[in-house]
Amino acid sequence: MGLLKFIIVGAAVGYGINYITQKGPDGRSIIDDLAENAPDWFDKAKQFAEDALGKVGKTAEDVRANF
């Protein structure tokens, strides 16, 4: 049974890699799009984290001020 699972998972991984590296009608693959947009997503995530930390810090200060 373990060998069958291994074969199925291997086939799924192979198909997935083939799918994301396959060129579309515009000549670009999913990997190309991800690589191009990654810096923008990183900047957005960094800004989101800074905002979240600011909100948590403000809430912590409010709680400390009330006790």
Task: Provide the pLDDT for residue 43.
Answer: 95
| Residue-number span of the structural domain to which 32 is assigned | 2-66
pLDDT class of 66 with cuts at 50, 70, 90: confident
Q: Are 63 and 53 in contact (CB under 8 A)?
A: no
R_g of the chain computed on alpha carbons = 22
Per-residue tokens: 7: 């074969």
Q: What is the pLDDT of residue 37?
A: 92
Look at residue 8 in the predicted model and tell me its pLDDT: 96
H helices present in the chain, as ranges:
2-21, 30-66
pLDDT digits (tens, 9 = 90+) for 20-55: 999 989 889 999 988 999 999 999 999 999 999 999
Residues 6+ apart with CB under 8 A from 49: none
Residue 3 has a pLDDT of 94
Domain count, the chain: 1
Packed helices 2-21 and 30-66: angle between N→C axes, nearest 10 degrees: 100
